[in-house]
Every structure is written in structure tokens, then in C-alpha cells.
Structure 1
Amino acid sequence: MLKAERAAWVMQRLEELYPETPIPLDHTDAYTLLVAVLLSAQCTDERVNQVTPALFELADNPADMAQQEVEAIQEIIRPCGLSPRKSKAIHRLSQILIEEHGGEVPQDFTALEALPGVGHKTASVVMAQAFGVPAFPVDTHIHRLAQRWKLTDGKNVEKTEADLKKLFPAKSWNKLHLQIIFYGRDACTARGCDGTVCEICRTLFPRRKSPVVTKK
């Protein structure tokens, strides 16, 4: 198959496997989603979902969060890891949302990425899932699978994002990035598949014998 043919087949198969794509992180609005995605850095979604109920009981909006002590936030989010840095980021970004954005999460990539603890991936998730703006957040699963399926050369996540955006229609990005993540967790895992085991890898590359080494 040519790369475009592989992309089309992958999109069709993932739609069959995952017709529904619930957002893995529990949230009620753009702000709680932003905080949850920030917490998910180097942490599982499952762990974040265990932690956020207590955090959002403490404060579930920028005004209330900005009034909390950083230490109180840190104590709650400690199980997520990197709690000193994340707690300061959550506190400060809440202040900035009040000071500069009227207490609302901005619907703008540049403004989001200017917030403490918010990188391009986090901003992309919020823009896609909270505001419906086409975006293609690339996490470790997507970066790994795109290389195994030869949809990118995998030099870095930025290149992977650009390559996938060229291959897939913009209207599919918000759903497709979740479908790839779900498949990466269920079937084409880091240890369970090396590019030769799962259904999609075997279908796309039936003659592949050597494992695919994921580039970081």
C-alpha cells in the first residue's frame, strides 16, 4: 500500500473498532479539562481521574482555585507525580485566567500555550475537545503507532503531528487522535506489539519480519 492508502485503511478500521470516542479524562468544562490534561503529563488518565474529584471539590473554577494555597493543591495531586511543578502551574494559570481572560479558558492556541504548564499538546487537546477546533495532539501512543504504520519518519512529535495532518482530513482529527490512542492502549502497545503483532500492523505490513524501533 501507498502511504495515503494505509492512512485511509487505518481511518476506516479505527472507525469500525471505535465508533464512539469518549474523552478519557473526566471533566465538566474547558477549565476542568485543562487542569486534567495538565495533570496527565507523565501520569495515566486513570490516576488523574482518581485525583481530580477531590481537587475539583476544593475548586473547580479559576476564581476559587486562585484563592487556594499551592500546598493544598499539591497535597491533593501528589499521586499524579511532579506535584510541586503542577500545583504551581495550576495555581498561577488560574490567576492568569482571572487577570487576563475574564476567568475563561481562551479559545486560542497562542494564549493557551502561554499559560504555565501548558504546552502545545495540552493546548491541542483543549482546543479539540473543549472547543471543537480541529487539532491533532500527539502523545506517546500516536507517535509510536504512526511510526509502526509508516505514516511518519518519527523524527520528533512535531514532525509526526505535521505528517498526520497532511494525511488525514481536518474534520477527522479530533476523533481520530482518540481512536489511535485507544488502539495504542488496547492492541498496539509499547510492549505487546513491536510492529509485527497487532491486527493493523500485520494487515499493513504482512511481510514485515523485524521489529520497529520507535524513535523518540
Structure 2
Amino acid sequence: MRGANQSSVSEFLLLGLSRQPQQQQALFALFLSMYLATVLGNLLILLAICVDPRLHIPMYFLLSHLSFVDICFSTTTVPKMLANHILGTQTISFSGCLTQMYFVFMFMDMDNFLLAVMAYDRFVAICHPLHYSTKMTQQLCALLVAGSWVIANLDVLLHTLLMARLSFCADNAIPHFFCDVTPLLKLSCSD
């Protein structure tokens, strides 16, 4: 039987990148500017693709999805880190940690799948240029993107559900600015 003095962890401490106030201010400014540049750049790509009818071809359809995923990927971790710096808090709930981990890895998987689909698109364009328009149809592109979303979600859902089954007993300090699998596995007291 387990000891009666074990307590369950309901939240984690994200220790961030630095504990020195001067470095925290510089890191806050750096990450805020990089986040804004990332979001603005990807929004401009999306806007250009939506506005110009000449860009409504498979390559730019895939690029628009990649830009959307990049915005979502950045938005999964950076705003929480910036809010922690402003508010002076370091906590994230257990469910918030699992949710953040789910979306980080889902958008990471989507980046990889979309890059693979874009590589296939360029392969067909270079190796079969005369058949490109018949092989890379809008329906096939939509199917490849939808399949990527489904596979990425199922893959990450499995990992997140397995992480949710772990128990965390004593230490709750994560030496990162977001919830990552490796530090969580090290903190787990499950077998």
C-alpha cells in the first residue's frame, strides 16, 4: 500500500528561461517582437493568398495552411510565457499543461505533414509537369490537408491521454517556459 503522505500535483511551475530580472525584461521584449513578427508575417501571407486569384493554386493553398499552422503553433506557447512575465506568476494547471502540450505537438505534427505534402506537390510539378494539373487537383489537396489534420490529432491525442494517466506526487517545477513531455516524464512518480 502506498504511503498516506503523498499528495497529487494540481499545477506546475514553469521556471522559464531566466530568473534574473534584467534578463527577463530583455527576453520579454525579444520574444514579444519575434511573436508579433511571426504572426504579422504569416497573416500577410494568408492575406496575399486570399486576395490574389492567381495564387489560388495547390502550392499556395498548402502554403496558406502552413502559415495558419505556424500562427497557431506560436500562439500555443508564447502568450502564456509573456503573461507569466507580466503577471509575475509561473503556474500552469495540470489540465492547462496537458492542453498546451497537446496543441504544441499537434501543430508540430501538422508542420511536418504539411511540409511532406508540399514536397509531394513540388515533386509532381517537377517530375510530371504536363500531368500536374490533373494529378494535383483541389480535391486531392483538400484531402491531403484534411488527412494531415486527422492523423496529427489522433497521434497527439494518444500521447496526451497516456500522459494524463501518469501521477505526479512531489516536485512540480518544470525547467522550461512551456509544458514539454521530457520534463513531465521526469517529474512523474508513476512506474
TM-score, normalising length: structure 1: 0.24
Which has more helix, going by share of residues?
Answer: 2
- Identify which of structures 1 and 2 has the higher relative contact order when contacts are C-alpha pairs closer than 8 Å and 6+ apart: 2
Q: TM-score, normalised by structure 2?
A: 0.26
Greater strand content: 2
